[in-house]
Structure 1
Amino acid sequence: MYRLLAPAALSLLLIGSTSQLLKAQQAPAIDKRYVDEIKKLADQPAVKTAFQTFIDLEPQTKQDLINLTETPSPPFKEQVRSKKYAAMMKEAGADSVWIDEVNNVIAKRKGKSGKKTVIVEAHLDTVFPEGTDVKVKQKGDTLYAPGVGDDTRGLTAVLTVLKGMEKAGIETDADVFFVGAVGEEGLGDLRGVKHLLRKDGGFKPDSYIAVDGDGIGSITHRGLGSHRYRVTFKGPGGHSYGSFGIVNPHSALGKAIYYFTADADKATRQGVKTTYSVSVIGGGTSVNAIPYESWAEIDMRSESPQKLNEVDQLLQAAVQKALKDENSIKRQGPDLTVDVKKIGDRPSGKTEATAAIVQRAMAVSKYLNAEPSLEVSSTNANTPIALGIPAVTIGSGGIGGGEHALNEWWLNDKGYLGMQRVLLLLLAEAGLDKTTGSPIGKK
């Protein structure tokens, strides 16, 4: 997850090197009907019981966090953690639990009518490669370990919410699916949620709540989209003197980078913040050899689909111009070729600040005495947002930092408020069945 800390936490806690500060949008006024709705919901006896249950479960929640953190979940190798999380969901009382084709964990809690579907999700994967030491170390009240916050804390919060609902006997009108999703980080490219919401055979939820990050104020309602490419120029290669005059992939790549960055610089100086980066380059075998291959990995981002596509087209044009230029100056041998492979495609878009799910999320933060902050970020909510499904990403409580770094940490500063927050938003979206109170959350 890439996120901005809520204003209340802007003591600028340490964040990981791959994270970035993203522009927060001043929260608009909250419609009074949502403020009243959340207060009425929180006053229900069963909800109060669940709130107390979260506090009572704090020791077990801490142990769950440690157990899950110490279960490695490298990119594309989430299977072991998936099995453990599925077992924990089943023990917590879900009606049915299964692991799908890509290792997403899905736990269903049936609603009384089942006319609507709400998904509450956190991601199973971490950025850390296989072999990383994920043993949790505690210093004072703070837990340190790679992945302890992003997003193992989110997984633990979702699990505890299910436990609290079971212990309090809370019934919803809608079906609720508690999900541990694979592939949120890096080249995972949101593959877990893309599979979950696929057109052919996927879920069609009425609303989607992703749990990622910490605190109880931030609300991500705008998806930061990204396109990522690996561009590879290929030629015959040869001796730097004896084969002089053949095409040189490095020369072509250098030109492509120059053409792209010059044009992208002009295109991104105005309008919605849009970024580009030539991030990794490689190729070549020796100082006295013309390389047979030269490649680069390129990242571009924007919350505007139009701006993202504009910068994308500039890259495509720069690559083709460089290819043509290099081939035009060859003195012998075959032409240079190029392969442009998209290695990442995160959709962008937004859930309007006036949408019920955003208004409810703000009302929940206010109810819990936190200042709501509307943000743009790259999270699993990107996919449902782009599909037009009302969706947000909210934090799981507590305070954390060092995401994507080996010294990542999380501090349980009233962490139970994170579960209370998730529960209130979930119930507002799913509707509280009459068996546990008056119907709430109807639009």
Structure 2
Amino acid sequence: MKQITLGLVLTFALFGHTMMAQEIEKKYSKEVERLTKKKEVEKAFDIIKSQKQQTTQDLITLTEVLAPPFMEDERGKVFAKMLEEAGVDSLWTDKVGNVIGLRKGTSGEPGYLGVDAHLDVVFPEGTDVTVKKVGDTLKAPGIGDDTRGLAMLISMLKAMNKSGIKTEKDLLIVGSVGEEGLGDLRGMKYMFNESGLDIDSWIAIDGGSLGRISNAGLGSKRYKLLIKGKGGHSWGAFGLANPHHALGKAIDIFSKNAWEYTSGDVTKTSFNVGRIGGGTSVNSIPFESWMEVDMRAIDPKNLDEIEIIFKESVKKAIAAYNASGVRGRVTYELIKIGDRPSGELPASLPLVQRTMAATKFFGETPRLGRGSTNINIPVAKGIPAVCIGRGGQGGGAHSLHEWYLNDEEGDESIQLALLITLAQAGLSK
């Protein structure tokens, strides 16, 4: 894997992508303009428009195959069949479930450019994912995030093959697993840490409107705190150590310490107790109590520091509770359930410049930003990567009321993905 030196050159907003305007070097604008004038590229753009109806049907087909966290296999099979029919040189599913199609380049040089969208959605097994049409609008859980990205990959691949486009670099067209929630980017972690593939750049499709470009990853650490005690009757065993009471003390101490830290002189850092649970009835002292905690930070150093604050706060809280005069004691266990690294790539990087130049070609103002996406992994390693939007209109992501409208921007989003890919991979002469 080829690495670059990370540069902290921009000030980013979290998720909102509110950024300062970035300068696009003229050589990249000219490079993009030359590409768009190539006959095979013009033909590919026209093909993308002509297959809009089929792309919409692909979106519906994929959406109606539910892919809950850690259960992406069935959708992966459907996506693999689409890749095969669209035309790839080889196709495989790796041991964690990533579906990978290889489209060979002409240079014979080592190093892959990967282009991906994620297979998984946030919805659990049993969710009704039947697509409903209201006029031109499609409604179903997961219709946009990120199923639309998968349909874009198929359209782009078909357009490349039908127009006769050949790239210099080898391309990996990937339906990845584990992007959402507790999936913890397991698909990308495997690709970049264990697969043995020499990947030197990456393009992820997983955003909203055109113009949004992520070149930085927002890191997070997530834990489940599990507190256990003997348990008993609320009256008959009154005074026995209570895991819920201990959990309350842990939340109180951590919240105070973390709030003091995040309110200090640090770049934006957050903490959140997202879920709590345990107990059997209102008149029972619980034998178990738990909570799940999410901590995020722009700066990896801040993320490490708030993680230390969390661990020390829990240790202090449990010790204080056990010494408070209760009968017996509680024990605890910290289980790491998420670890996404932070990272940032400079705007001057060729891939970022090409992405901005291609975006500008479609009349959009490039807006650089950060998010928690598949590019967190390559970015943290210093490997060039960007995340771009899926275009069109949409809303209600992560809700049962998610919707998507494939308007004119929808075609442009696929053309944009193709243009960035060709600029980075090189159009073979």
Contact persistence 1:246–1:330 (CA under 8 A): no
Tell me the alpha carbon deviations over residues 238-258 of structure 1, each in whole angstroms, 9 at most, x when there is no partner: 233433333221221111111
Alignment of 1:321-336 (within 5 A): 321-333=316-328, 335-336=329-330
Q: 2:411 aligns with which of 404, 416, 420?
A: 416
Amino acid of the structure 2 residue aligned with 1:44: K
State the match for 1:9 in structure 2.
none
Change (3 A) 1:303 1:204: farther
Contact 1:93 1:163 in 2 (8 A): yes
Distance 1:274 1:266 in 2: 11
Measure the CA separation in 2 of the matches of 1:312 and 1:23.
26
Q: Separation in 2 of the partners of 1:88 and 1:401? A: 26
1:105 to 99, 103, 107: 99
Q: What letter corresponds to residue 224 of structure 1 in structure 2?
A: L
Is the 1:23–1:376 contact (alpha carbons within 8 Å) kept by the matching residues of 2?
Answer: yes
Deviations along 1:149-197, one digit per CA (max 9) or x if unpaired, are: 0001000111111111000111111100000001111111111111111
CA apart distance, 1:21:
4.7
Tell me, yes or no, if structure 1 residue 162 matches structure 2 residue 162: no
Gaps of 5+ in 2: 1-13
2:115 to 115, 120, 137: 120
For the residue of structure 2 that corresponds to 1:194, the secondary structure is helix
Query: Quick one: distance in 2 between partners of 1:112 and 1:281?
Result: 54
- 1:406 Cα deviation after fit: 0.9
Amino acid at match of 2:372: S
C-alpha contact (below 8 Å) 1:119/1:207 kept by paired residues: yes
Q: Which amino acid aligns with 2:285?
A: I
Decide whether the 8 Å contact of 2:17 with 2:368 is kept in 1: no
* Cross-structure match for 2:397: 403
For 1:272 and 1:33, the matched residues in 2 are separated by 34
Matches of 2:415 and 2:380, distance apart in 1: 28
CA RMSD in angstroms, aligned pairs only:
1.4
Q: Given the alignment, which residue of 368, 388, 399 partners 1:394?
A: 388
Find 2:203's aligned residue among 195, 199, 209: 209
Counterpart position of 1:29: 23
Separation in 2, partners of 1:218, 1:203: 28
* Distance of 2:144 and 2:299 partners within structure 1: 29
Q: How far apart are the structure 1 equivalents of 2:372 and 2:47?
A: 32
Distance, in Å, in 2 between the alignment partners of 1:241 and 1:23 is 54
Q: In the TM superposition, what is the alpha-carbon distance from 1:204 to its structure 2 partner? A: 2.7
How many residues matched?
Answer: 413
Are 2:191 and 1:196 equivalent residues in the alignment?
Answer: yes
Aligned ranges 1:131-280 → 2 under 5 Å: 131-198=126-193, 200-269=194-263, 270-280=265-275
Show the counterpart of 1:15.
Answer: none
Amino acid in the other structure paired with 1:412: N
| Whole-angstrom distance in 1 between the partners of 2:119 and 2:323 | 50
Match of 1:7 in 2: none
The alpha-carbon distance between structure 1 residues 169 and 215, as it changes in their structure 2 partners (threshold 3 A), is: same
**Amino acid of the structure 2 residue aligned with 1:248:** N
How far apart in 2 are the matches of 1:23 and 1:218? 7
Structure 1 Cα separation of the partners of residues 367 and 212 of structure 2:
5
1:83 corresponds to which residue?
Answer: 77
Give secondary structure in 2 for the equivalent of 1:197: helix
Distance between the aligned counterparts of 1:35 and 1:213, measured in 2? 23
User: 1:286–1:71: structure 2 CA closer, same or farther, 3 Å change rule?
Assistant: closer
Distance 1:380 1:190 in 2: 6
Letter in 2 for 1:109: R
Q: Match of 2:86?
A: 92
Q: Of the candidates 334, 342, 363, which is equivalent to residue 336 of structure 2?
A: 342
C-alpha separation in 2, matches of 1:146 and 1:331: 48
Please name the residue that 1:305 is paired with. 300
CA distance in 1, matches of 2:289, 2:334: 12
Name the CA distance, whole Å, in 2 between partners of 1:139 and 1:201.
43
Q: Is the 2:15–2:369 Cα contact (8 Å) retained in structure 1?
A: no
287-296 or 176-185, which deviates more: 287-296
Task: For residue 424 of structure 1, report the CA deviation from its aligned partner.
Answer: 0.8
Q: Which amino acid aligns with 1:392?
A: V
Partner SS state of residue 35, structure 2:
helix
Verify: 1:376 aligned to 2:377, yes or no: no
Output the CA distance in 2 between the equivalents of 1:259 and 1:332: 22
Q: Supply the distance in 1 between the matched residues of 2:128 and 2:151 (Cα, whole angstroms).
A: 20
Unaligned runs of 5+ in 1: 1-19, 435-443
* Cα gap change, 1:331 to 1:85, in 2 (>3 Å): closer
Question: Would you say 1:62 and 2:56 are equivalent positions?
Answer: yes
**SS at 1:422 equivalent:** helix
Aligned equivalents of 1:288, 1:202: Cα separation in 2 = 55
C-alpha distance after superposition, 1:121-165 (max 9, x if no partner):
000011111111111111122111111100010001111111110
Q: Which residue of 2 aligns with 1:53?
A: 47
SS in 2 for 1:107: strand
Return the letter of the residue paired with 1:354: S
Q: Does 1:291 align with 2:291?
A: no
Q: Secondary structure at the match of 1:176?
A: strand
1:188-241 Cα offsets, whole Å, 9 max, x none, are 11111111112x433231110001123221001111111111101111122334
1:352 equivalent in alignment to 2:351: no
Paired residue type of 1:302? A
SS in 2 for 1:195: helix
